[in-house]
Amino acid sequence: MVRPIDILRQYFGYTSFRAGQEEVIQALLDGRDCLAVMPTGAGKSLCFQVPALLKDGVTVVISPLLSLMKDQVDALRAQQIAAAFINSQCTLEEVQESFRQLRQGRIKLLYVSPERLQNEFFTAFMAAIPVAAVIIDEAHCVSQWGHDFRPGYKEIGPWIDSLPVRPVTGAFTATATERVKEDMLNLLGLRRAKVFVGGFDRPNLYFRVVKTTRKTDFLISYLAAHNDESGIVYGATRKEVDKVYTALVKLGFKVGRYHAGLPDEERRRGQDDFTYDRIQVMVATNAFGMGIDKSNVRFVIHWQMPKNMESYYQEAGRAGRDGAPGECILLFSRSDIMVQRFLIEASVRDESLQANELKLMNRMVEYCEDSHCLRRNILSYFGERPQWERCEKCGNCDAETVEEDITQEMRLICMCIDEVKGRFGQTVVSSILRGERTPKIRQYGLSGKAAFGMLSDCDKGAVTVLMREALRAGYIQTAPGRYPTLSLTAAGRDLLDGGTKEKITHHKIIEEETPVVPRRRQAAQKSYDEEKLRPLFKRLQELRRITAQKEHIPPFVIFSDATLWEMAECMPADLAAMSDVKGVGRFKLYKYGPSFLRIIEEYKQEGR
């Protein structure tokens, strides 16, 4: 009997499954509906592609974007997997050809848009052939609470029910918020679905927050230091994207631009140029999103803070899909908060929705201001509880710190909270401590409090950090509820009463005025010496580019960066050795192996 792992090895050339993949595959093979929530780049596609190859009949994959369908089908075909797509961009002949092959049972994976399900001929046709499974990719599109709502997704549930034999159904997404999850379960017609959430860690990604007002300097030197790599720069608004784009073009960088204000034609061209490695960097708003499955994106830089953690991880996660090291940098300045607040207030009218968005944004600010492990921060947002305190491979774990005595500050915070008797939350407490004369302060007559202005020489960010420290250390606590108020804990009371004699310290990150760049991604999980291997890697990359051009497919479809690095490291001498390299499946081995072996051989000869 053929097992999932055999398919993985033969067709995809990978040696083992990633966290979570096997369970989902097994559920689908057992005929159990499932909803899988895994982060961007985790490898969701394989979870339904492997079962599709093991089952009789065709697996229908519903996907929201035409470009996404085409890329996935290209990638599958490059591994000799029988896949096709039917959408509005196909010619009549192409559609007829797909139907012919479907009738003969020769297609294992069929990608369609949700709108196609409303086509009567298509539905009648599908009712007459064996359907192994229906997969809904980017399943969050069914929810209005999500970020890419698509009305067509609402038709999926009824469509599945209309089939004469109901196939097993799987839904996939990276969006983990409760409301969206509920919608997916209720609206997609899943039955007794097994829900998989997890694998949120992306071990090959290096996270970093850079606090600077000199963002342009940073960006330019970063791009110059990484000029042979693909990356995305995300801006919060079209205007900002245009500004960054123009500045980079002037300096001679090969960049493209993408936002909803550009003509379709320009957007398509930009996306193609990026996919085919004709431009190095894409400057974009979050409109540049789901459609990018390009696996060799090496860095994602956020020019400004995004609106929430969900969006951030989704966007940052587009780096390093191939498993090779990737870097995610967020350039943060406090004015970013105003920008996001403005955007939220301008776009969300409903009051409670707006409050919710602002809360999510505040959590994003917390990430930016965190001085502890960034990876830990992310994972705990997504509900995971890592066993470790520090990942040792993020900007904060690597940062230089100084030990600061904050005993006095902790006392003052406790004093202030005690004084107002747990009536207020963080914002007001911070205003009192900083001695701000806001309307609230006046309204409640708080300027007479003893703690008023006691931390007036700290900026807002610093006070926030201190309060968070007090929460972490357990001197204060927040009451749950709509307006979370702060109160003292027993430890806080003790501190206030002078019971605690020890010095309280924390590690403060030393912010560099001009943060230096080429702190090359400290090998999140890298075993090889990049500098030594680079010459050979570049030659392999060039061969990949030429081959891709000849075949009219994106370069990463042939081999990923990770695969090329491994080739450069192992220098296989024959096909047998080549087949051990991760990402070299049977089909690609025979098709591309010989030419890549030749380059490696040449390189070895020269070295002698």
Residue number with CB closer to ligand ADP (426 or 541) = 541
The residue with its CB nearest to ligand ADP is: 43
Q: Which of 71, 183, 277, 322 binds ligand ADP (CB under 6 A)?
A: 322
Residue 290 within binding range of ligand ADP, rule CB under 6 A? no
Partner from ligand ADP, Mg ion, none binding residue 33, C-beta < 5-8 Å depending on class: none
Residue 276: C-alpha distances to residues 231, 272, 297, 341 (Å): 13, 6, 12, 36
Residue 315 within binding range of ligand ADP, rule CB under 6 A? no
Residue number with CB closer to ligand ADP (81 or 470) = 81
Cross-strand pairs, 60: 110, 134
Residue whose C-alpha is closest to residue 51's, from 199, 156, 170, 195: 170
How far apart, in whole angstroms, are the C-alpha atoms of residue 351 and residue 329?
32
Ordered alpha helix ranges (H), 128-237: 156-162, 178-187, 215-225
For the CB of residue 41, give the shortest distance to Mg ion in the complex, in Å: 8
Residue with tokens 């708080």, as numbered in its chain: 446
For the CB of residue 317, give the shortest distance to ligand ADP in the complex, in Å: 7
Q: Are 529 and 585 in contact (CB under 8 A)?
A: no
How far apart, in whole angstroms, are the C-alpha atoms of residue 156 and residue 221?
48
Residue number with CB closer to ligand ADP (294 or 302) = 294
Task: Record the tokens describing residue 129, joined without a space.
Answer: 């052939």
Q: How far apart are the first and last CA of the chain?
A: 47
Residue number with CB closer to Mg ion (152 or 453) = 152
Partner from Mg ion, ligand ADP, none binding residue 40, C-beta < 5-8 Å depending on class: ligand ADP
* Helix (H) or strand (E) segment spanning residue 85: strand 83-86
Q: Are 184 and 140 in contact (CB under 8 A)?
A: yes
For the CB of residue 214, give the shortest distance to ligand ADP in the complex, in Å: 33
How far apart, in whole angstroms, are the C-alpha atoms of residue 71 and residue 86?
13
Query: By CB under 5 A, how many residues form the interface with Mg ion?
Result: 1
Task: Record the tokens describing residue 230, joined without a space.
Answer: 């693909």
User: Within 199-258, which residues bind ligand ADP (CB under 6 A)?
Assistant: none
Q: Which of 189, 323, 395, 593 binds ligand ADP (CB under 6 A)?
A: 323
Residue number with CB closer to ligand ADP (133 or 476) = 133
Residue number with CB closer to Mg ion (8 or 417) = 8
For the CB of residue 451, give the shortest distance to ligand ADP in the complex, in Å: 48
For the CB of residue 64, give the shortest distance to Mg ion in the complex, in Å: 11
Residue number with CB closer to ligand ADP (293 or 310) = 293
Phi, psi of 10 (to 5 degrees): -65, -50
Q: Are 259 and 285 in contact (CB under 8 A)?
A: yes
For the CB of residue 249, give the shortest distance to Mg ion in the complex, in Å: 31
User: Within 13-72, which residues bind Mg ion (CB under 5 A)?
Assistant: 44
Cross-strand pairs, 126: none
Partner from ligand ADP, Mg ion, none binding residue 34, C-beta < 5-8 Å depending on class: none
Phi, psi of 390 (to 5 degrees): -125, 140
Residue 17 within binding range of ligand ADP, rule CB under 6 A? yes
Task: Record the tokens describing residue 196, joined without a space.
Answer: 């998989």
Residue number with CB closer to Mg ion (44 or 307) = 44
The residue with its CB nearest to Mg ion is: 44
User: Within 29-58, which residues bind ligand ADP (CB under 6 A)?
Assistant: 38, 40-46
Residue number with CB closer to ligand ADP (230 or 560) = 560
How far apart, in whole angstroms, are the C-alpha atoms of residue 326 and residue 385?
23
Residue number with CB closer to ligand ADP (55 or 321) = 321
Q: Which of 33, 74, 183, 293 binds ligand ADP (CB under 6 A)?
A: 293
Number of C-alpha atoms within 13 angstroms, CB side, residue 313? 28
User: Within 533-592, which residues bind ligand ADP (CB under 6 A)?
Assistant: 560
Partner from ligand ADP, Mg ion, none binding residue 43, C-beta < 5-8 Å depending on class: ligand ADP
Partner from Mg ion, ligand ADP, none binding residue 280, C-beta < 5-8 Å depending on class: none
262 C-beta neighbours (distance < 10 Å), count: 17
Residue number with CB closer to Mg ion (83 or 486) = 83
Partner from ligand ADP, Mg ion, none binding residue 321, C-beta < 5-8 Å depending on class: ligand ADP
Phi, psi of 405 (to 5 degrees): -85, 120
Partner from Mg ion, ligand ADP, none binding residue 17, C-beta < 5-8 Å depending on class: ligand ADP
Within 8 A by CB and 6+ apart from 40, the residues are: 174, 313, 314, 317, 318, 321
How far apart, in whole angstroms, are the C-alpha atoms of residue 150 and residue 153?
6
Residue 77 within binding range of ligand ADP, rule CB under 6 A? no
Residue whose C-alpha is closest to residue 38's, from 139, 140, 174: 174
Residue 321 within binding range of ligand ADP, rule CB under 6 A? yes
Amino acid (one-letter) located at 74: D
For the CB of residue 236, give the shortest distance to ligand ADP in the complex, in Å: 23
How far apart, in whole angstroms, are the C-alpha atoms of residue 17 and residue 49?
13
Partner from ligand ADP, Mg ion, none binding residue 46, C-beta < 5-8 Å depending on class: ligand ADP
Q: Is 482 exposed, middle or buried (0-12, 13-18, 19+ CB in 10 A)?
A: exposed
Residues near ligand ADP, by CB under 6 A: 14, 17-18, 21, 38, 40-46, 293, 295, 321-323, 560
Residues near Mg ion, by CB under 5 A: 44
